[in-house]
Every structure is written in C-alpha cells, then in structure tokens.
Structure 1
Amino acid sequence: MNMDMINMKKIVKDAGAALSRVVQLTEEKLGTSEKTELDGHFENLWERADNTKNYTEKIVRNAEAVLIPNPGNRIEDYIYEKIEKKRPSRLSNLEYLGLDMIEAGSAFGPGTAYGSALIKVGQWEQKLGQTERDFIGSAGMCFTQPLRKFLDTEMRTIIKEKNLLETKRLDLDACKNRVRKARSMLGQPSKDGVSPEVSLEQAERDLRIAQSEFDRQAEITKLLLEGVSSSHAAHLRCLHEFVDAQARFYAQCTTIMTDLQRELASSVKPGPVLRLNSEDLEPLTKTHASYDAEDSFTPVDINNYEQ
C-alpha cells in the first residue's frame, strides 16, 4: 500500500513537472517569459556537433549508395546488421555478367572465335566482380561502419543529453518565474493558509536545486560536445583508409583489364591485307572478306572486282 502511495506521488509530481515545462515553453514562444540562454562557446559546440551529425549522415548514405547501388540490398544488409546476423552472400553484377558470358560462349562453341572470347571475357569479369566485392567489404569495415557507429552511439548520446539539458533549462526558468511571482506577493495577505514569505522561501529553494541540476547537466553535455573533435580525428583516419582501399581497387581493376586486353590480342590471328593500287590498307575482317565453305577468309582484290 505504501509503495502504491509512493508511486502515485511520483506520477503526480512528474505530471506537474511536465505541465510546468509546457507552460514555460508556451510562454517563451509568446514572449511573455524569459529564457535562460546558453553561453556562446556552448552554442558553437552544439552547432558543430549538429553539422557533424547532418553531414556524416549524408556521407554514409551516399557512400553506401555507391558501394551497394541496389536499395533493396542495402535495406536487407541493414536489417541483418540490426539483428546481428551474417549478411547474405550475393554475387556482384559483374559476376552475373561473367556467368552469362561463359554460358553463352559454351552455347556458341568454345572452339569458335566468338565463343572462346566470350568465355575468356566472362572469366575476367568474374575476377573484376570478386575484386569489387572485396573492395565493398573493406570500404565498409574502414569507413561506413565506423561513421555509422558514431551516429548510433556518440551522436545519439549527445542528443539525449542535450534534450535533457533543455528539460532542466525549462525547469530552471519555471522556478525563476515562481520566485519572481512569490516576491511580487510579499506584503499581501496569506493565500490558502501559506504566507508569501514561506512561498518565497520554498520557491528559492526549488530554484537553487534547479540551478544546480541545470549547471551539472550543462557541464556533462559540454564535455560530450567537446569530444566531437576526437571524433573528427578518427573520421579523418577512416577517410584516409577509404581512399587507400579505393586506390587499390582501381589499380587491381586496371591490371585485370590490361591483362584481359593482352590475352584477347594474343588470341586474334592476323587477317588478310586489303590491297588497292599496290598499297597495303587495313587488315581485313570478316566484313571485308568472303567466306569459303570452311569459314576461312578469302582475300579480295578490289582491282579485279567487277560491278
């Protein structure tokens, strides 16, 4: 029974405090009540933290869109991350392209020039795809994940403490208003059996408590805001690691494509030369030649060609 009474008193007290904050906020918006302003240094710290939050959210969102263009896959990965389960392993678009090329080359015939080339290119596209997947994984580990963790932990804590500070500020200003009101009542008859002097004494006691709680919360929030500088330094290291990973990725892609070009060039047999007035022109391709029964090139002499 006593516990029920204590809980009821707490509920009534909390409801009264909430109502007092609403009244105070309303009066501030109407311009009928003063508002305690935070110092300029604190405001600058908060502005920097707020900008950090907003721009970090944009950077993470756009970086993930570059790394994983499919929005459905991004949502799926986010859900798996939240439930702390391993992300599904999926092939990249380049790997799917490579598989289709290999399948087509096999269907057209590995012994034909086109079929053989399709198979070869498909195999190298798969290498590109695997390289891309490795880059996406390393970029997530060194860049997007640390930045998202900052948003989900440090920034969320800062916002929580800043909101609590605003609550303490409303309580403080409400107490200041009660003190002013109690002072204005001095010398007047008692109301509800309570003298103005007693009301003023209680109001001033509440004000001292509210001021102490506000100052303590302001200091806590300020320390957290000052920690954003350390977060910037950590994010700078993440940015360097991201650039290094991106540079390695593009270098690997360049090597893969250069090797592929070299292999394709080595597998192409030189075609017949088109001669015009005893001058050599470009090598013939199948579009410049006629086919014999065995699908081989037959040189065409334009000087002997009859209309």
Structure 2
Amino acid sequence: MDFNVKKIVKDAGAAISRVVQLTEEKLGTSEKTELDAHFENLWERADTTKSWTEKLLRNTEAVLIPNPGNRIEDFVYQKIEKKRPSRLSNLEYLGLDMIEAGNVFGPGTTYGNALIKVGLCEQKLGQTERDFIGSAAISYTQPLTKFLEGEMKTISKEKSILENKRLDLDACKNRVRKARSLLGTQVKDGLSPEAVLDQAERDLRVAQSEFDRQAEITKLLLEGVSSSHAAHLRCLQEFVETQARFYAQCSSAMTELQQELSSIAKPGPVLRINSEDMEPPVPNNTRAPSPSSFTSVSIMAPVDDSNFSVM
C-alpha cells in the first residue's frame, strides 16, 4: 500500500512538473530540447502515412459498401466480435424482383422469359460482387486497418512517452540551471546549494539516459514505416488483381446474357400513338412502284388572249 501511495505521489509530481515545463515553453521562458532533423523527417513521414492510410481506407470501404448504414453495422459487429448477418446485395434484390415478375407474366411469354434470364444474371452479378468485396477486404482493407490499429498506435504511444521524457529532461535542465545560480548563497532548508546542484545533476543524467533510450525506441519504430509501405504496395497489387478479376467475370456474364437475349424471338411491330416514334421499317419484299405506274400529267401554259383577234 505504501508503495502504491508513493508511486501515485511521484507520478502526480511528475505530471505537475511537465505541465509547468510545457507552460513555460509556450510562454517562451524555458528552453526546449529539439530532436534531430532525421527524427523529425521520420515522424513527419509516419504522420503523413497515417493520415493518407485512414483516407484511403475510408474511400475504399465506401466503394466496396456504398450504404453508410451497412458500414456502421459492420463496424459495430466487428467491435463486439460477432459475425455480421448475411445480407443480399442490391443486384441480388433486383434479380429476385425480375424473376418474380417474369413468373407472373409467364415464363412462356417472350417478355417473361427475358425477365427471368436477366434476373438470374443480376443474381449472379450480385454474388460475384459479394465475393469481390470479401476478397478485397482480405487483400487490402484489413491489412490497412491492422496497420492503423497496430503499428501506428504503437508509434503514437511511444512518441507520447518520448514527449513526456523530453519534458522531464528539460525540467531537470532548468533545475540544474537554477541550482547553479544559487551557488554561493546561504543554506536553506538544511541543504547547501552544492548538495542541491549535485542532486539536480544526478536527476539530469537519469532523465537524459531515459530520453535517449526512448528516442532510440521511437526512431526504430518510425524507420519501420518503410517496410509498411512495401507491404501496402503488395496489398494494393492484390487489390487491383482482385478488382480486375471481378470486372472480367461481370463482363463475361453480361456478354453471355446478351447472346441469350438475342436468341429470343423479337416481337412484331407495335403501333404507337406518338408522333416522335419511328415508323416500322418497310419489308424487303415490297417493291417501289415503277415509273410507268404513275399517271402522266400535262402542264399547259396559260394562253394570253390579247395576242388573238376575232375575225
């Protein structure tokens, strides 16, 4: 119990010291230990990677699952670690309605038969789409999610620890400077300025060692982002291959459907009362009338009576 109380008091003191140090830095009354340029570049690249990966993940999920309600439902089921209920795609719902309508109109009719064929194809496309969504999740979105929730969270956590170690280090540096400024003054609280300086320098060495160690740990994690980029490139290539396969399957299904529909007998001409509709084409066996069938019409010029005289 004593150990826990002491630890709580120590942690509280460290937290207060960090707040004071941060406030003084904001006010410009205290110096701040800067990290080297290489470390800053690594951190900027990691932060950029995190931001763009989050955006790419959101946009990819929006393409795969356009309905935002379904995306939220999937997210909830994922968090509670339960299997989400199976749902039909919009194409499959459309296919079901077309098949039902075709049966109502009659499978033996041209239109009913066509509706059933198209409905079956729409169902096939819907199943192909669902397979594509599952494959794309495994090859692309899941690895990106794992990266954000694993590596990036670890990097952010270690970076936060490093920032605390940096604040502790700068606070120790300030105490050393204050202790040195007190050298030669009168003893207060039973401790000589030399003893205070000696203790402050020991604390500074410990803080510097902890800061350097944490900086090295964080740096190694940041350098690992390059490996993550290589892994994400492989995932992107797999996603493109999955997408190409999906569109090829859709194209094949639609080509087959077009061939099936072209084999269905076309209905005869239908009279439409619409002046904008085209008239049915003239059958090929209808011959145009020959010139001899036309009635000859003689056109006579008008006679001018003024040129004649009556005898």
Q: TM-score, normalised by structure 2?
A: 0.86
- Verify: 1:7 aligned to 2:4, yes or no: yes
Equivalent position of 2:276 in the other structure: none
Which among 111, 114, 117 is matched to residue 114 of structure 1? 111
The letter of the residue matching 2:51 is N
**Structure 2 residue aligned with 1:99:** 96
Match of 2:270 among 286, 289, 294: 286
Name the counterpart of 1:195.
Answer: 192
Shift of 1:200: 0.3
Q: Matched residue pairs, number?
A: 280
Task: Give the deviation of 1:288 after TM superposition.
Answer: 6.4
Q: Does structure 1 residue 216 correspond to structure 2 residue 213?
A: yes
- The code of the aligned residue for 2:122 comes to E
Residue matched to 2:152: 155
Secondary structure of the residue aligned to 1:33 is: coil
Alignment TM-score, normalising by the size of structure 1: 0.87
Q: Which residues of 2 match residues 44-123 of structure 1 at below 5 A?
A: 44-123=41-120
1:248 correspondence with 2:245:
yes
One-letter amino acid matched to 1:15: A
Identity of aligned residues (%): 77
Distance 1:139 1:267 in 2: 37
1:5 is displaced (CA, Å) by 2.2
What is residue 172 of structure 1 aligned with on the other side? 169
Matched letter for residue 287 of structure 1: L
Matched residue type, 2:192:
S
The Cα of 1:270 is off from its aligned counterpart by 7.0
For 1:226, the equivalent position in structure 2 comes to: 223
What's the offset of the Cα at 1:82? Answer: 2.1
Q: Separation in 1 of the partners of 2:272 and 2:23? A: 86
| Alpha-carbon distance, 1:154 to partner | 0.5
User: d(CA) in 2 for partners of 1:255 and 1:6?
Assistant: 72
Structure 1 range deviating more: 121-130 or 72-81: 72-81
> For residue 132 of structure 2, what is the aligned residue in structure 1?
135
1-structure distance, mates of 2:47, 2:12: 31
Partner of 1:286, secondary structure, is coil
* SS at structure 2 position matched to 1:193: coil
- Once residues 266 and 120 of structure 1 are traced to their aligned partners in structure 2, the CA distance between those partners, rounded to angstroms, is 12
Match of 1:35 among 28, 32, 47: 32
Q: Indicate the RMSD between aligned Cα atoms, in angstroms.
A: 2.0
What's the secondary structure of 1:287's corresponding residue?
A: coil
Q: What amino acid does structure 2 have at the position aligned with 1:91? A: L
Partner Cα distance (1:144, 1:83) in 2: 19
Please give the per-residue CA displacement for 1:13-45, whole angstroms capped at 9, x wherever unaligned.
111100000000000001000000000000000
